[in-house]
């Protein structure tokens, strides 16, 4: 479980400030689901909770189904370094001491504090594009 870690926005993020993922017709995007869940429930969901809840919402499953949860979690799933929120939409993600997640816009004071906090490990979100190699 990831704890005391801050995921900073990707180097190639399209946004340097937190931008709410757009709503669209049809099913919500992964970015929108992550945004809604983490904005409405800061520090209430672990990564496993978040991933399973998104899976249930996308497939019409009951989040209380422990058998489905066990089966889902038996496979690996991406962390917040791969979330569109940290890769594209300008949000950092903080995992607290219990592994629960909250979002922080890159243009916020709290975001900057996490980057400087010696008690928190800082990792960059994954790039959307491969970095150009130096020749």
Give pLDDT tens digits for 41-68: 999 999 999 999 999 999 999 999 999 9
How many CB atoms are closer than 10 A to CB 44? 13
Q: CB within 8 A of 1, min separation 6: which ones?
A: 46, 47, 99
Specify the pTM.
0.90
Collapse the DSSP code of 74 into the 3-class scheme (helix H, G, I; strand E, B; otherwise coil) and give the result. coil
pLDDT tens digits, one per residue of 24-43: 899 999 999 999 999 999 99
- Spell out a b/e string for 75-91, using b for 16 or more CB atoms within 10 Å of the CB, else e: eeeebbbebbbbbbbbb
β-bridge pairing 5-8 and 121-124: parallel
């Amino acid at each position: 479980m990831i704890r005391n870690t801050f995921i900073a926005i990707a180097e190639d993020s399209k946004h340097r400030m937190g931008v709410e993922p757009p709503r669209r017709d049809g099913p919500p995007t992964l970015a929108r689901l992550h945004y809604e869940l983490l904005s409405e429930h800061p520090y209430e969901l672990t990564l496993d909770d978040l991933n399973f809840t998104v899976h249930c919402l996308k497939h019409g499953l009951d989040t209380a189904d422990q058998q489905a949860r066990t089966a889902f979690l038996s496979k690996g799933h991406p962390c917040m370094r791969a979330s569109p929120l940290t890769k594209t939409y300008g949000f950092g993600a903080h995992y607290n001491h219990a592994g629960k997640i909250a979002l922080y816009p890159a243009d916020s004071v709290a975001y900057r504090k996490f980057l400087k906090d010696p008690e928190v490990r800082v990792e960059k979100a994954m790039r959307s594009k491969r970095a150009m190699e130096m020749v």
